[in-house]
Amino acid sequence: MNWEFIFKDGLIAGIQGIPVSLFVTFVSMLIALPLSFLCAMGRFKRVPVLSQLITVIGSFLRGTPLVVQLFIVYSGFPSLLNVLVQRNGWDFDPFGISPYVFAFVVFSLNVLGTLTEVFRSSLSAVGKEQTEAALSVGLNHFQTNCLIVIPQALVSAIPNICNEFLNLFKSTSLVYMMTIQDILGKVRLVAAEGYDYTEAYVVIAVIYFVLGFTMEKLFQRMEGNLKTYKAAPQV
């Protein structure tokens, strides 16, 4: 074991990569959250056509490996675009698109597939009687959803959102394949000099664990704050 690498070069490189990993994670999540909620509402309300479309796309996104999705978008999409560019004579270089754009597209779509199901199941977990009660006191459907159904659904979705968030955070380590220098990319880069790959992956594992553990705790605290109405002891 090259301890010096672990505690010095490797660790420093890894820490430098943290902002990149977090950036990709947060942006993808922020794109996916509202979209998947809308998709879930579409499924929940059984909006015709839209609902079926979401189901099929969702199954595809959940049923194909992330690496495959990544390569389809990263290498397939620019080539496809290039054909169009050449045919129409546009002044645009499809191979110059930032890999971050592809990362955001792939990861947010991938999370969208699972988060839609998370939101849909938590929406349907809110009892029908909650809606009926709200209607019976004179609320319309929009008010009922905004004030009663959605707030309850969101709270019960938090643990699953946390899971998805952690999964996404870990998955973003694949961005090194698109030349983005995240935690994994940076550490591997410095490891190449002395061939310290074993050490490199130990460093990477530790960094991911510390960050992942912190996120989990933060989510738990948030859930605790939001679900006071459930955790309350019987009197």
Q: Which residues contact other proteins by CB under 8 A? A: 127, 129-130, 132-140, 143, 147-148, 151-152, 155, 228-230, 232-235
Minimum Å gap between C-beta 149 and other proteins is 10
**CB closer to other proteins, 108 vs 152:** 152
SS3 134: helix
SS3 63: helix
DSSP class of residue 182 equals -
**CB closer to other proteins, 3 vs 229:** 229
Closest of 203, 168, 210 to residue 187, by C-alpha = 203
**CB closer to other proteins, 152 vs 172:** 152
Q: Is residue 117 a contact partner of residue 58, using CB atoms and an 8 Å limit?
A: yes
**CB closer to other proteins, 80 vs 147:** 147
Rounded-to-5 percentages of helix, strand, coil across the chain:
85, 0, 15
**CB closer to other proteins, 36 vs 156:** 156
CA angle 42, 43, 46 (to 5 degrees): 85
Minimum Å gap between C-beta 165 and other proteins is 23
Q: Is 195 left (phi over 0), alpha (psi -120 to 50) or beta?
A: left
Angstrom distance (rounded) from CA 235 to CA 226: 20
Minimum Å gap between C-beta 156 and other proteins is 10
**CB closer to other proteins, 155 vs 168:** 155
Angstrom distance (rounded) from CA 102 to CA 100: 5
**How deeply is 78 buried, as exposed, middle or buried, from its count of CB atoms within 10 A (0-12, 13-18, 19+)?**
middle
Minimum Å gap between C-beta 35 and other proteins is 24
Minimum Å gap between C-beta 235 and other proteins is 5
Minimum Å gap between C-beta 230 and other proteins is 6
